[in-house]
Structure formats: C-alpha cells, structure tokens
Structure 1
Amino acid sequence: MAEPPRDIVLVMTDQQRADLTAREGFPIDCTPTLDGLATTGRWFNRAYTTTPLCVPARISLLTGRFPSAHGVLGNNGYDDPVRGPDLIDVLGKAGFRTALVGKNHSHLTPDRLDHWVEYSHFGRVPAIAATGRDREFDDWLRANPGTTPRPTPFPLEHQLPVRIVDEAISWLDSAAPEERSFLWLSIPEPHVPYQVPGPYFLAPDAVPPAATTFDVLKDRGFDWRYAGQLAQRSGEADPDLLARARANYVGMLRLVDDQLARLVAHLEETGRLESTLFVHVADHGDFAGEYGLMRKGPGLPEVLTRIPMLFHGPGVRADVRPSPAHVSIADVLPTLCELVEQPVPEGTQGRSLVPLLTDPDAPGFLSVYAEQGYGEPLDEDALGDRTPGLRETASGGVAVDTVNEVTQSGKRRMIRAGRWKLLATANATQLFDLDADPFELHDLAGRTELAATLRQLQQELERWSVTD
C-alpha cells in the first residue's frame, strides 16, 4: 500500500450538481480547478449521496451509514445519531489534528475538534463573530435569502468562500512540522441565497437553459406537484426568475472553484500538495431550474442524488477517465480509514474505494443505493387547509421551502446500476433508462421486454435493503 497522506483536506460543497462541469460536457467552464484535480487524480461520475438532504447526507459522510441506519431522516433532531466512531474519532486516533471551517449541519460539536470556525448560508456562526464589512455582508444575506436580480453590492473579499478559504489557509499554516492535519472545508454554497458579485454575474441567456420545464410536473406524484404549487404561489415558477436563479447558481460554481484554486495554489507553493490527500464531494445536488424548480425537494432524481466526487494525492493513481464504479458518499469514511491505516468502525455500510484509487482498472462496484423520505405519504385530503413549506415574509411576500412535510413524506428507495435506475415505494416501482432519459420522464417498468432487467434490479434493491 502507498504511504499514508500527511494531511487530508476534505472539501464539501453544498447542493452542487454533478453535471454542470466541463468534464461532463457542460459548455460553461464552471469548475476548472476541480476538473484539473479530477483528471490528475481519480473521479467518479456515478457517485451518489445517500439522500438528497443536507443533514442526513452529512451524517452519512461522517459515519459511513445510510440514514435509515444512523436514524436521521430529516434536517432536524440530529444531535445523537446511531453511530460507532465517526470520521473525527478515526482521524483523531490516527494522530491528526482536526478542524471544521465552514458549514457544519451535522452532529459534530466544537469541543470534539481542535479548531472550529463555523459559517451558515448567512455568514459567521454566531453572527457576532463577523465584524465590519463582513458583518454588513452577512446582514445583507439574511435580508436577501432568495435569488438576487442584480450583482451583489459587496466586493468579492466578503463572499463566504473567500473568507472560509482564508481561514483554512491560516489554520493549515499553523501546523508544527511534525503535525498531521485533517481539514473539513465545508463551503455552504452553491446553495441559496443565489447571489454573486459582478465578475460572476452572468446573463441568463449566456447559460444553457434547463432541459425540462415546469409542465412535466403534471405527470408526477403529488409530492412533486405540491412542490410546483409552492413555486407558483411564491413566484419561483416564473421563467425569468428561474433563468436568473440558474445563472446565479452557475456563477456561484465558478466563484467557489476560484477560491479552491487559491487553496490548491497555496498548498503547491508551500510544498504540501503532493503529500495532501484532497477529496471533494457535495452533500447532494440542486434542481437548478430542472422541472421548473430550484434547490431540493421531492424524490430521488439524478440532479439531486448524483454528486461530484474526486480524490487526488497520496495513494491515488491518476487517470483522466472517470471510474465506472457506482459509489456513495457513505464510502468516504471506510476509504479514509484504509488510507490512514485505521480499522473501519463496526456498523459501517460504506465500502472502501482504495482498490479503485490505486488501480484504475480494478473491478468496480456494479450498483449504488440511495433513499429519501419518512412517515406516511401525504396527499390533498391529509393536508386540509394547511400549506406546509409556504410562509409570509416580514415584507408581506411569500417564501417557499420545497423541503417540507409533504415533499419528504413517504419512503423511496433507488438503485443505479449501469444505464438503469430503479425507484421503489411501498406502492409502485419505476424503471428508467438513464442513457436515453437522464431526467427520468419515461417509466419503462411496464415494458415486457425489460421484465428481466426489472427483476434483476428489484433483487439488487433487496440485497441492499439487508443493510437498510
């Protein structure tokens, strides 16, 4: 086995789509730094979150368990998940000093790490930790929680990714020569608020439009249609607003990438890049205008479940090709355990990717699993006059949260295997050919000629469900 990494930088972006990158064919060069690291390291274009929701996905990253195993299914009540030793426990035992710089939104607490500088989507946590113009910018974010129609009226240096990378560089530089460092660099973007300063503020017509429109929601389940109803009532379904939000989202991707370029350049200038394992994942994706929606919400579509994932550095054999393996965010913990020569905690459901990192031609995993939702599915009769996810703002407007008790109700499971995707609930099974139908508009489960494929995927889901 290769020599263990001296340092580990685990970058997590929040709500970053996997497909909006030049290495996957997107015509705008949103992520040149990440693309460079991917193609001089190892990257996976069949990587998936465990669930397209922030907190349970982040806990899966840290514990190597699926939400149904660690017990956190939503964005609340996450202080005490079911777990064994988590990533911080493992790396602390391996002799790493540990830090979180950025967004937490997990069960971690400051006392468990050596260094803690927290940010939310609206700036420093606590808010009083920001001063001067940084504090003014954070206040502006809280006052503008949606999509801004004009460039952000603050210079670039006040943006959260800039400040987070500044903090990260400062902490990494504080290490004594004999110390090993683990940094969870957790950037709370490209999540709402969708805002960018002038250099990154793109014209909507400069960004390729979404491949699907609001009209497709009429053929989907109630949870999807309800998300559409909220978008209509709040004004978010307006095509011009969607186009503006999508353009801001793409601009945010490049802003974040440019700040990661600063970090990588600093590691290179200080002679540490070659000995640093650099990992990038997102917790989940973003509709970014598909289906006439933004952010996240119902279901397990590719735009929400498939995530970027790359490894670069010690123990990684470079290959410009994406790995054909089907991998999960839950695989990060056992992978890092093996790379730092620590035992994988009991109860871990993820799989070590080390064989795939060290040998690009090693046999890959043939399927990957994800899940979403909790409780019984809700419909119009169950809601009555209530409209979960919709609230009045202080200015008299209407705000929407597409993650609510309707869009998260019910239980859904998915399997991706090659070109095929199986979606299952208690009452229905759907089959999609992702090569021909990447946005899952045409259910093929009833096709006689695909009956054998359907049975095979159902058996694969049953196999995964043993650890569910």
Structure 2
Amino acid sequence: MQKRVKNVLFIMCDQLRADHLSCFGHPTLKTPNIDGLAARGMIFDRAYVQSPVCGPSRMSYYTGRYVHSHGASWNFVPLKAGEMTIGDHLRPLGVRSVLVGKTHMRADLAGMSRLGIDPASQVGMRIAECGFDSYERDDGIHPYSGHDPDPAYNAYLREQGFDGDNPWETWANSTVEDDGTIRSGWFLKYSNRPARVPDEHSETPYITRRAMDFIRDAGDQPWCLHLSYIKPHWPYIVPEPYASMYGPEDALPVVRSDAERQDPHPVYAAMMDHRVSRTFSRDGVRDAVMPGYMGLIKQIDDQLGVLFAFLEAQGLMDSTMIVFTSDHGDYLGDHWMGEKDLFHEPVIRAPLIIYDPDDRADATRGTRCDALVEAVDLAPTFIDVYGGEPVPHAVDGCSLRPLLFGLRPAAWREHVVCEYDFAFQDSRIALAAKPRDAWMRMISDGRWKYVLFERYRPMLFDLAADPNEFTDLGASPEPEHAAARTRLHEALFRWARQPRQRVTIADGTIESTEIQPRISEGGILIGYWDEADLAQARQSFKPRFASTNPLVKPTLDRLTHPQGVKHDD
C-alpha cells in the first residue's frame, strides 16, 4: 500500500546550534532520537535561516518570505495584518494548522484596528498567532516583556504545588543553593546548577505532553502541528538528571582567535562590545553555561523519543511528515560573541531534518543533502505536501520534496541570503547610526560569504580556506577576493531587485491574461486602427479566447461585427 502524508509535525527548537547534535558531529552530546529521525529521513547539511534573531527568523519560516518581504525585522516588530502564513495557505486545502509553544509574534493591533478586525475574533487570533490556531502558546519570555505575562504553564505549575507570582521564573528557571538561597537562572553563573522544578514538570516535557494532547484530540482532519520548544534558549538552566550529565570538558572547543579583535570591522567591534559578548568572553563563563545548554538539548532529545513512540503507538508514523529544525543558533562565546547578532555559521546554519513517509522518499532515507536550502523553503514544502499549487508570487522559497525524492531541480538556488536589522541594539547607538542605516545583509554561495553594510565596507569570508571564519577579507586587495566581492555584491543586488510585493495576483494569472486585445477591461480598446484591425487581432488570439470572461464576448462581437454577422468561436 502506498504511503502518503496526512499530517505534518513541524518541530522547532529555539537557539539550537546544528553542531550540537550527534548526527551533525558532536562527539559527546548524544541525541539518539533525533539521530533516529535522521536515519528515517534526510539531513540537510547546508540549511540557513533568514535572520540570526528569533522574531524575523520565525516570521520567515511561517510566511515563506524573506525579511525584507514580510517586514517583521526584529523581535516584537509585528508581522503586518494581511501577510499570508502557513495556516492561511493550508486552511483552504482542508488542513488545520495549530500551535503548541512559541512563535515570538507580536500582534499587529494597529493594523487590525484600521481594518476593523476584532483581536478576540477567530480571524484576529489567527493574525496574532502567525496564522495558527493556538492550542497552547508559551513564548517563555515573561514577565519582563509584558507580552506573555501568565501562560497556562504557570497555572499548571501552581496546580502541582509550585506557587508564586511567576513560578515559570522562580521554579522552572531558578536554582537553590545548599544554604537555601534561591538564585535566578537568568544569571549565567548558575547555568551549571539544577533547576528547582523536577524534570517531569519542567517546560520541555510539559510542552511535549500538550502536543500529544492535541494529537489525541485532533480527530480525522489533517493537521499541521507546530511544536515550538523555547529551549535550549536562555535561561540556560535544566533540572536533574540533565544538569549533571555534562561538564566543561564535554563541550566543543571555543572557536575564536585573538586576530579577530585586532582592527575588526566597525560593526563587528561594536557587537563584540555588547554586554553579553563581553560576558561570554570572560574566563569561566562558557564553562558554566555549556553544561546547562547541553543538558537542555539532551532533555529535548529524550522528550522527542517519548513523542515519536507516542506517534508509533497511535499508528501515525506512516502518515506524518516530521520536520525538525531551529530558528537560529547561539554564539556561546565563539568569535568573542554572545547571543546571535552577526552571520557566523554557528548562528545562521540551522539543523534541518525531514522525515517524509511517502514511498517516493525511500531512496533518500538516511542520507545527507548538500544543496543550499533556506527557512523559507518549509512553507512551500507543506503546500506541496497537501497538493496546493505553487505560489511563487507570494512565497519566496522552494519546495524541498524533489530533494527528498532524490531529484535535484536543475535551477536550484546558487545562494542563500540572511538579513539583520540591528537598529534596536546598543551597537547602533555606539556607531551613531540612523535606524534605517542599521541593516546588514549576507549572501553566500557555500564557499564565499559576503556581508553588506550601510556606511561601512563589506566583510568577506572564504569558508573553504577559513572554515572558522577568522579572517575577514572585506578589505583585501587580492584580485581573487575583489572578484568574489564584486560577484556576490551583484548577486545580492539581483536578489534584492526581484519583485516580492505583488502578492495579490499570481504569476500564472498574469501569463494567462490577454494583453491585446484589452478584453479584461470590459471592452476598452487601446491602439487599434479600425474594426478590421481588431478582427485580425481577435483571430490571432482565438485559441486563448475560449478561457476569457464570457461577459466580454458580446462587446467584442459588437465592435468587430456591428451588423450582427455571426462567426465561429
């Protein structure tokens, strides 16, 4: 019996580096359940996000559009009402799109108000949740943003006896010292200590159970479930037994060079001066953080084992596509940086594994793909799964199913692009840059990586000769480097020139529309000399007239044959 996809499980971790999975080469952090998924599917070794920070990266995943297309350029910049998302594309195909976990979405309340949309209505709630129906939203950013002040997880913790105004913080993301002093996990110093909350009540197991609750309740309607974990994002703190599983000796060596701090690019220098970067550059900080970060990843892997066993027990593994990825990585002290503010590989290269149960994917199971792929490719992949027509006028990415089926399209992309708006960062202030000048864009062909800034020279890295990206060739006079800069600059400009805002008319509709005669405008005729001229044009376009608006035909007959003479159509 042929196997086909009925459901899609779209799993996203937050701030997970690709090199921190054993199937991507980590020597000590073993992730057997994620590895098992890879054995049943395909690893994409060169998958890249569209922005190195949560909000814009996720909006690109959800819309299938680049950052400068959807406009949500930084955390909490609202995705404007009217942007099409995965849910909007799949709902007409009969698919229920559901969220369990994080989106990092800020609702466009101003846009909804202008359009007369009630935020509490079903349409308003979908706009506020990136097109998903929210089964349970948990962004893990409360209470400081005021965006997610008291989620259902807090109520759950209180029911289990973990009381307080914000048990998410005081139990799930805090530790207690031997003398009873409670310490916040927000402080990096305590990342190697266990969280107060027991493992079974911590966030990752809780969200996994909520995903299973939805699957039990889903019924027969096909679904696309976005299971979005907030970890291993900071606070880097995890309960036992995970807190004690790893020590600093299990971590990958830090990747940084003293040469990077000698006459660095001005924007890079300003970002190395961010507080988080200065802190991660201090001795001992990375050693404290890595046990917590690695433990959080191990916990996710164990919970995915629980989830995959549940899918097997429910008889769903043979009909559910599973996508595993991350919204971006984490510097963790590499390149003298913390967080995720530039375009080095540990930040913008995402883990991507896809298991497609379709029989046509049998030939690629357990293999690795070296094609350049992007976050924007997932939305068109899901549309493809459910038999929807491609919508290249509204979605920037390409379906990955041909690659999953062992067929690489001849015109597959030659470059990946990543964008970052650092207008909201201290580095912009330090550089005295205007917000509209605080944009940078990266383009890479897999070997050369070119970064374009406003007001400053570019950066350039040769990933073949310098895989650690220690040497910035942006000012190098070498002819080879100058040629690479020129070529990639033009490629970036060519990418930027592509029309991406005409989303209301499909390309196919334009190609099927008669240009001459102008029948789409109710018989308005432009440029014809007389009736015979129109009749000749009508005859030359005759094969395509069969599909035109029948309301136009009487107008054409009247103008072409005013005496009422009938001709064959």
Band of TM-score, shorter chain:
0.7 to 0.9
Residue number in structure 2 paired with 1:121:
140
Q: Name the stretch that deviates more: 217-226 or 4-13.
A: 217-226
Q: Shift of residue 461 of structure 1? A: 1.7
User: Which residue is equivalent to 2:205?
Assistant: 162
Indicate yes or no: 2:292 matched with 1:248.
Answer: yes
**1:36 maps to which residue?**
36
Query: How far is 1:184 from its partner?
Result: 0.5
Partner of 1:88: 87
Aligned partners of 2:331 and 2:346 also within 8 Å: yes
Q: Which amino acid aligns with 1:6?
A: K
Matched, 1:47 2:44: no
- Structure 1: distance between partners of 2:138 and 2:409: 39
1:225 aligns with 2:225: no
Deviates more, 1:119-128 or 1:447-456: 119-128
Superposed, 1:141-156 pairs within 5 Å as 141=173, 143-147=184-188, 148=190, 149-156=192-199
Q: Pick one of 219, 222, 230 that aligns with 1:180.
A: 222
Deviation at 1:285, TM superposition (A): 0.9
Q: Among 495, 512, 520, which residue is 1:464 paired with?
A: 495
**Aligned residue identity for 1:420:** W
- Deviations 1:301-346, CA, capped at 9 Å, x for gaps: 1111111112102343434332111111011111111111113443
Pick which of 129-138 and 86-95 moved more: 129-138
CA-atom RMSD in angstroms: 2.9
2:306 partner amino acid:
R
Kindly indicate whether the alpha-carbon contact (under 8 Å) linking 1:44 and 1:310 is maintained by their aligned counterparts in 2.
Answer: yes
CA–CA distance in structure 2, aligned partners of residues 248 and 128 of structure 1: 22
Equivalents in 2 of 1:415, 1:40: separation in Å? Answer: 32
Give, in whole Å, the separation in 2 of the partners of 1:236 and 1:432.
23
Q: Which residue matches 1:308?
A: 351
User: Could you tell me which residue of structure 2 aligns to residue 216 of structure 1?
Assistant: 260
The 2-side partners of 1:461 and 1:195 are apart by: 40
Distance 1:360 1:261 in 2: 30
Whether the 8 Å CA contact 2:76–2:104 is kept in 1: the answer is no
User: In 2, Cα distance between the equivalents of 1:238 and 1:266?
Assistant: 44
- Partner residue of 1:65? 65
Determine the C-alpha separation between the residues in 1 that align with 2:237 and 2:437: 30
Residues 273, 313 of structure 1: 8 Å contact kept = no
Partner of 2:519: none
The one-letter amino acid of 1:438's match is P
Tell me the equivalent position of 2:367.
321
Shift of 1:114: 4.3
TM-score calculated relative to the size of structure 2:
0.71
Cα 1:134–1:233 shift into 2, 3 Å: farther
Q: Which has the larger radius of gyration?
A: 2
Q: Which SS does the other structure have where 1:352 is aligned?
A: coil
2:444 counterpart residue number: 416
Residues 98 and 134 (structure 1 numbering): CA distance in 2 closer, same or farther, change over 3 Å? farther
Structure 2, unpaired ranges of 5+: 108-123, 143-149, 175-183, 501-569
Give 1:198 deviation, angstroms.
Answer: 2.5
Q: Distance in 2 between matches of 1:105 and 1:214?
A: 35
Task: Please say if residues 99 and 182 of structure 1, whose CA atoms lie closer than 8 Å, have aligned partners that are also in contact.
Answer: yes
CA contact (8 A) 1:243 1:289 kept: no
In the other structure, the counterpart of 1:13 is 13
Distance across 2 between alignment mates of 1:238 and 1:165: 36
Aligned AA (1:459): E
**How far is 1:115 from its partner?**
4.4
Residue type of the alignment partner of 1:168: A
What displacement does 1:219 show?
3.8
Alignment CA distance shift 1:282-1:320 (3 Å): same
Aligned partner of 1:340: which letter? Y
Residue 81 of structure 1 and its aligned partner are, at CA, apart by: 5.5
Deviation by residue 1:201-259 (Cα, 9 ceiling, x = unmatched): 22212323312267734543344333433438974433212221122112211111111
| Greater alpha carbon shift after TM alignment, 182-191 vs 318-327 | 318-327
Kindly indicate whether residue 406 of structure 2 is the aligned counterpart of residue 365 of structure 1: no
Structure 1 residues 134 and 208, CA, compared in 2 at 3 Å: closer, same or farther? farther
SS in 2 for 1:163: helix
Q: Is the 8 A contact 2:3 2:319 kept in 1?
A: no
Task: State which drifts further: 189-198 or 233-242.
Answer: 233-242
Tell me which amino acid in the other structure corresponds to 1:411. Answer: W
**For structure 1, which segment, 130-139 or 85-94, has the greater mean C-alpha deviation from structure 2 after superposition?**
130-139
Provide the residue aligned with 2:428 in structure 1.
378
Q: Give yes or no for contact 2:270–2:431 (8 Å, CA) kept in 1.
A: no
Query: Which amino acid is the alignment partner of residue 132 of structure 1?
Result: E
2:466 alignment counterpart = 437
- Residue of structure 2 in register with 1:356 after alignment: 403
**CA–CA separation in structure 1 for the residues paired with 2:422 and 2:273:** 21
Of 126, 132, 138 in structure 1, the residue corresponding to residue 159 of structure 2 is 132
Q: Is the 8 A contact 2:276 2:337 kept in 1?
A: no
Q: What is the distance in 2 between the residues matched to 1:49 and 1:206? A: 27
Q: Mark the CA change 1:233 to 1:3 in structure 2 (over 3 Å): closer, same or farther.
A: closer
Q: Which range is displaced more, 424-433 or 152-161? A: 424-433
Question: What is the TM-score normalised by the length of structure 1?
Answer: 0.86
* Number of equivalences: 442
Is the Cα contact below 8 Å between 1:16 and 1:285 reproduced in 2? yes
Alpha carbons of structure 1 residues 222 and 231: separation in structure 2 relative to 1, 3 Å: same
Which is further off, 101-110 or 343-352?
101-110
SS in 1 for 2:241: helix
Tell me, yes or no, if the aligned pair for 2:280 and 2:332 is still in contact at 8 Å.
no
Question: After the TM superposition, which of the residue ranges 309-318 and 46-55 deviates more from structure 2?
Answer: 309-318
8 Å CA contact 1:242–1:293 kept in 2: the answer is no
* Percent of aligned pairs sharing the same letter: 28
Is this contact kept in 1: 2:415–2:444, CA < 8 A? yes
Contact 2:450 / 2:460 at 8 angstroms: preserved in 1? yes
